[in-house]
Structure 1
Amino acid sequence: MNTNIDCQALIAAVGDAIIASDASGAITLWNAGAERMFGYTESEALGRSLDLITPERLRQRHWDGYHKAMDTGTTKYGNDLLRVPATHKDGRSMSIAFTVAMLFTPEGAVSAVVAVIRDETQRFQDERALRKRLAELEGLAAADH
């Protein structure tokens, strides 16, 4: 294993958003990708709740899952991609996809959760437009028969 990698430089250079939060859900890491994606600077995000980017209607569900992961130390989203809505600083809705890594203290307690996030808003909108067009075409085909 190459231990000469500068992890801070890696986190800063990655194009995807990398966000870490502590056991209470306070943001402890916010890279340049997160700044570009969500519109908040690092200083605006650090120490704030993940509610910063979680749509209000989904917050209870988010926190239920978050606290369960904190309690159990496990998440199915370490390997499985989770696709959910998010909110940009300017209030617009976004579609994001991410995986999660759980970090632990030497004693085995969860110390942080790290998410690697990609903005899939354009892909989601394109797929929705294709589904709508397909439904329209299927409706026309059914009307012809």
Structure 2
Amino acid sequence: MQLADYKQLVEVIGDAVVVCDAAGAITVWNDAAVRMFGFTREDAMGKSLDIIIPERQRTRHWDGYHKTMSTGQTRYGSDLLRVPALHKDGHTLSIAFTVAILHDEERNVAAIVAVIRDETVRWGEERKLKARVAQLEAEAAA
């Protein structure tokens, strides 16, 4: 597959693809990221991930991010991570994503890529189901 094909893949995939450099600046923001988070490419490119990270999550995020960039390892491997995120209009999303580290020619950590899916609807439905089960169990116990 040629490099142009990879670029096309990033653009047509249904999940958001976000790449950040070692300092945390956004360098890739595909169409799915635009749809998911509401920020245009112009809004996002070169900006910090803080545009989509809720304030209460930022310290934890950046501590882990900088550790990953300095060590070249993520403690999450290929695990699916689930966290809250922010839309441009301020509403909260529930996202699930995987991350991978990208290296330069000298094998130095150059960037990190996240493939992100919006699970807000699914997560809301799951919360409703859990609440309903708890209600039914309480009624059965009474």
TM over 0.5: yes
Aligned residues: 142
Match of 1:16 in 2: 15
Offset, 1:5: 6.1
TM-score by length of 1: 0.94
| In 2: Cα distance, 1:3 partner to 1:106 partner | 18
Match of 1:82 in 2: 81
| In 2: Cα distance, 1:4 partner to 1:27 partner | 20
> Secondary structure of the residue that 1:80 maps to in structure 2?
coil
Match of 1:134 in 2: 133
| In 2: Cα distance, 1:32 partner to 1:68 partner | 29
| In 2: Cα distance, 1:114 partner to 1:137 partner | 43
| In 1: Cα distance, 2:92 partner to 2:3 partner | 39
| In 1: Cα distance, 2:89 partner to 2:141 partner | 42
Which protein is bigger by CA-based radius of gyration? 1
| In 1: Cα distance, 2:37 partner to 2:94 partner | 11
Q: Give aligned-pair identity as a percent.
A: 59
Match of 1:64 in 2: 63
Offset, 1:101: 1.1
Match of 2:25 in 1: 26
Q: Which moves more between the two structures, 67-76 or 14-23? A: 67-76
Coordinate RMSD, CA, aligned: 1.2
Match of 1:42 in 2: 41
Structure 1 outlier segments of 4+, above 3 Å: 2-5
Give CA-to-partner distance per residue, 1:63-91, whole Å, 9 cap, x none: 01101110110113341100000000010
- 2:110 corresponds to 1:108: no
Structure 2, unaligned stretches of length 5 or more?
Answer: none
